[in-house]
Amino acid sequence: MNRNDFDLSVYLVTDSGMVPDGLTFLGQVEAAIRGGVTCVQLREKDIETKDFIDRAKAVKELTDAANIPLIIDDRLDVALAVGANLHIGQDDMDASIARELLGEDKILGVSVSTVEETKKAIDDGADYVGIGLCFSTNTKVTKKIPKGPRGAQPLLRAIYEKGSDMKTCLIGGINQSNVSRVRYQSGIPQKRLDGVAVVSAIMAQNDAFKAAKDLVTGWNSTPQWCTVIGGKRPEISGLLNHPLIHHITNNVVKNFSANVTLAIGASPIMSECIEEFDELAAIAGGLVLNSGEISQDNVPLYTSALQAYNKHNKPIVYDPVGCSASTFRSNFTQMILVEGYLTVIKGNQDEILTAAGAILGTSGGVDSVSRLGMVELLDIAKKFALSTRSIVVVTGEKDLVVDGVFEGQTDLVDCHIGQQKFQFISGGSPMMTQVTGTGCSLGSVICAFVAAYRDHPFEATVSACSLYKKAGTVAGKLATFKGPGTFQYLFLDALNQYSSGVDTEDADIESGQS
């Protein structure tokens, strides 16, 4: 096995404690190898040295036959005894010593979770790093906070900037349902993830062969919900169908958002019943997820909805309402970003900067927001959109819509082709700020348009924002000598009138690509 040329893409890490009754440890490993895993790590925490070596020899026969590497966790003595490779954690032997003792021809892997640990692993001569924690896991007791697929990005950047070709895999809670998302959402334009490491998604399964095969298939597929079809941009003039839009939103705006949804020709449903999410996701056009009214108790409500809509490849429009207001709200937003793929993230400047703050390494304080110019805002929104692969909408006097992929991107690996699209959209009325729900209900319109034009989510989002601004402008003018009450019904009327034929030429749009 060549140290410089091994395939890390679907990396099985063993745990003999979770093999289902009636099945054997070696049987699980053998089935996983048949299913296509590309590396095996033997990880045994409570086993005598002699038994460890015997087990390592038996597994090595299987990995040798398949011509894939066997990597021993932690125990250099066992690795040397059987002529295998080595993986070490931060609490194990120093990687530079391990490299010296292991020799130059064996693969050395290191567990990392920070940029500093990653840089040290390069200097110490590691061939790959296992980056944790991606999602929460029951397999290992750890204090690490799940950072989602995007958690790999600063580490990938550090490896790229050091000019190293060290490989990377993510670990923690990765399974058949999220593996393609992990691959798609983890990379940076200059460097992408080389693989995923899994324990329970194979070892605890009754059919380890199928489990491994499905992981390999998932790793090699672009998630349907984020496929961006190239080619001609559509002329979007209103909704051609009548998508059902599922809302999980706050009580203050439910009625208005439902009316807005109806006004544009879509159908609203307000459900917070987890038991029906899977069925709803199967028939709905998309989900509006608004975190205006959150609590620790309803975390499962949000995560279940994310899973259901991601599973059914339906768009999710996320509104991190007021996430700059408290630590709980800000953390809640980060949890949402970890747990699911979001087609669109929509918020005002404070909200978007707070949501983006963690990954950009800025404090994202509210004070700094008011001082931001358009150029800086655009830069932050573009980086945030690329890191999440979501379309980012920053609402304000001018709405800003930024695409999360580069134009022309058709698969999950060539994320550096073309240019990143963005548009500014002007219009609206100051009276919009006097009617509760006008901010949140833009999410309903975006979701309906994205649901109706599934292959062109960026253009659909721009059209939705244009329609909204235009309706606001018209209603504002007509309500000049009246007040917010009059504005509210005129706004619904205008949305209704223009939704059947929104002419984006009428809205004040400045587009750009860079």
CA angle 18, 21, 23 (to 5 degrees): 85
Residue 351's Cα: distance from chain center in Å? 18
Q: Give 132 or 476: the residue with its C-beta nearer to ligand 3NM.
A: 132
- Rule CB under 6 A: say whether 172 interacts with ligand 3NM: yes
Comparing CA positions, the residue from 221, 187, 153 lying closest to residue 406 is 187
Q: Does 171 bind ligand 3NM (CB under 6 A)?
A: yes
Q: Does 173 bind ligand 3NM (CB under 6 A)?
A: yes
User: Computed over its alpha carbons, how large is the radius of gyration of the chain?
Assistant: 25
The stretch among 22-30, 172-180, 216-224, 489-497 that binds ligand 3NM (CB under 6 A) is 172-180
Annotated active-site residue 465? The verdict is no
Stretch that binds ligand 3NM, among 64-72, 137-145, 246-254, 402-410 (CB under 6 A): 137-145
Q: 194-223: which residues touch ligand 3NM (CB under 6 A)?
A: 198-201
Q: Residue 273 CB, nearest distance to ligand 3NM (Å)?
A: 29
Contact 197, 170 (CB under 8 A): yes
Pairing relationship of beta strands 344-348 and 420-426 according to DSSP bridges: unpaired
- Does 331 engage in binding with ligand 3NM (CB under 6 A)? no
> What is the closest distance, in whole angstroms, from the C-beta atom of residue 96 to ligand 3NM in the complex?
20
Q: Which is nearer to ligand 3NM, 14 or 330 (CB)?
A: 14
Applying CB under 6 A, the span of 20-28, 140-148, 284-292, 470-478 interacting with ligand 3NM comes to: 140-148
Tokens (6 digits) for 325: 């207001």
DSSP assignment of 197-258, as one string? EESHHHHT-S-HHHHHHHHHHHHTS--GGG----SPPP---S-SS--EEEEE--TTTHHHHH
Q: State which of positions 11-50 bind ligand 3NM (CB under 6 A).
A: 13
Asked if residue 509 binds ligand 3NM (CB under 6 A), the reply is: no
Site for ligand 3NM in 416-435 (CB under 6 A): none
Q: What residue number has its CB nearest to ligand 3NM?
A: 132
146 touching ligand 3NM, by CB under 6 A: no
Question: Using CB under 6 A as the criterion, what x/- string covers residues 70-109 for binding ligand 3NM?
Answer: ----------------------------------------
CA angle 316, 319, 324 (to 5 degrees): 145
- Segment interacting with ligand 3NM (CB under 6 A) among 100-108, 165-173, 219-227, 316-324: 165-173
- Cβ closer to ligand 3NM: 199 or 475? 199
Q: Which of 152, 133, 135, 153 is nearest to 144 (CA)?
A: 133
Task: Give the active site residue among 134, 226, 440, 465.
Answer: 440
Q: Which stretch binds ligand 3NM (CB under 6 A): 131-139, 326-334, 401-409, 448-456?
A: 131-139
Structure-block tokens of residue 349 = 């400047």
Residue 344 — φ and ψ, nearest 5°? -135, 135
What is the spatial distance between Cα 142 and Cα 131, in angstroms, rounded to a whole number? 13
Q: Is 149 an interacting residue with respect to ligand 3NM (CB under 6 A)?
A: no
140 binding ligand 3NM? (CB under 6 A): yes
Q: Which two tokens stand for residue 297?
A: 């108790």
Question: 88: burial class by Cβ within 10 Å (0-12, 13-18, 19+)?
Answer: buried
CB atoms within 10 A of CB 1: 16
DSSP state of 399: E
Q: Is 137 in the site for ligand 3NM (CB under 6 A)?
A: yes
Positions in the binding site for ligand 3NM (CB under 6 A)? 13, 111, 130, 132-133, 137, 139-140, 142, 144, 171-174, 198-201
The catalytic residues are 440
